Amino acid sequence: MSIHAGTTLGGRYVLRSLLAVGGMGEVWRGEDSELGRPVAVKVLKEHAAANETFLKRFRNEARNAAGLIDDRIAQVFDYGDQEHTAYLVMELVEGEPLSTIIERERTLPEARIGTILAQTARGLDVAHRAGVMHRDVKPGNLIIREGDLVKITDFGVSRSHDQTTLTQTGMVMGTAQYLAPEMALGKPATAASDLYALGIIAYECVVGKRPFTAATAVDIAIAHVNEDVPALPASVSPAMAGLITDLLEKNPRKRPRSGAELAERIESMTLSPSLNTATAASAPSTPSAPSADTSGEQPRSRGNVPQRRMPPTIAPKSFRPRPDVSRGR
């Protein structure tokens, strides 16, 4: 069906203005005419709705997010299908994505980073305790509201313990720049996988760029598995440097145990409320490589160079984490 301003879905959700466009769908500012409240409506694009894998992901987002009630998670209100157009009705969050803030400011004060990380960690802990792994934690999915309050959005590639995987053999879900090594190796996502992504975000916020970049998404994923994390500037405080180092451990069993544990650690740290000029000066003058979402897509070619599928043994044995094995302390 044709989607435009004024379209009404489900007999009650009136679309007002387009907020964002992604590979799978569009997000509209809308109004729930029954309750008289503003909402956000995610509409699955026609080609995605015709793809059973994308449709399952969309339904998973509705099911998984609807069961998570927390101030730090954008609430899902409703799900429907009208004339073969699937849509998701969500809480309308007023704010801007962390990705926009990073693009504008390049680096952030450590105290502000800590505030954002701690809130996100607590929100993720709610999801993890409910058995839901986000699997695509990145700045674009963290909406920052007034007072640096965080809302986690887009559980589109999330998975709960009672759902079968939608990942095809040799493929991974999530965004390559924030992908945990175990996920790059095709292993199941765990809470530690989401926390690894927070480590990448923290690194990006203090350095001004992501630790791993390459020409293709697969090359970036391989780097997460095989390459050491680039050294942090000396201007980064020992507390923040230690936190990032622990979050970016290749082995998930060596990362913080949970989002709650991570939040408590951050809240106990003393971090500077001002931006360190030495760190800001070390930020690159050119933008980082654009985010490459590999979720459910076939590898693409770049020029005449074919993009590789992820082989199962790209890492030495010492770097092949086992998230399915309980960690001992």
pLDDT > 70: percent of the chain? 76
H helix or E strand, kind and range, residue 320: none
What is the overall mean pLDDT for the chain?
82
58: pLDDT confidence band, cut at 50, 70 and 90?
confident
Instruction: Answer yes or no: is pLDDT of 314 > 60.
Output: no
Average pLDDT over residues 244-270: 98
Q: CB of 124 within 8 A of CB of 199?
A: no
The pLDDT tens digits for 107-142 are 999 999 999 999 999 999 999 999 899 988 999 999
96-97 β-sheet, strand order: 96-97, 142-145, 149-152
Q: What is the pLDDT of residue 307?
A: 45
Q: What is the DSSP string of 22-49?
A: -SSEEEEEEEETTTTEEEEEEEE-HHHH
Determine the residue type at 198: L
Cβ count near 69 (within 10 Å): 9
- Give the torsion sign (CA, 16, 17, 19, 22): positive
If phi > 0 it is left, if psi is from -120 to 50 it is alpha, else beta; for residue 83 that is left
Measured over all CA atoms, what is the biggest interatomic distance in the chain, rounded to whole angstroms? 58
Residue partners of 98: CB distance under 8 A and separation at least 6:
116, 139, 140, 142, 143, 144, 201
Q: How far is CA 290 from the centre of its chain?
A: 14
Q: What is the pLDDT of residue 66?
A: 83
The pLDDT tens digits for 198-240 are 999 999 999 999 999 999 999 999 999 999 999 999 999 999 9
Q: What is the pLDDT of residue 173?
A: 52
Determine the residue type at 323: P
Q: CB of 230 within 8 A of CB of 213?
A: no
Residue partners of 209: CB distance under 8 A and separation at least 6:
283, 284, 288
Q: Per this entry, what is the length of the chain? A: 329
Q: What structural domains and CATH numbers belong to the chain?
A: 8-91 (3.30.200.20), 96-319 (1.10.510.10)
Average pLDDT over residues 42-47: 80
Q: What is the pLDDT of residue 154?
A: 83
H helix or E strand, kind and range, residue 271: none
Residues tagged active-site: 136
Q: Quick one: tokens of 232? A: 């942090």
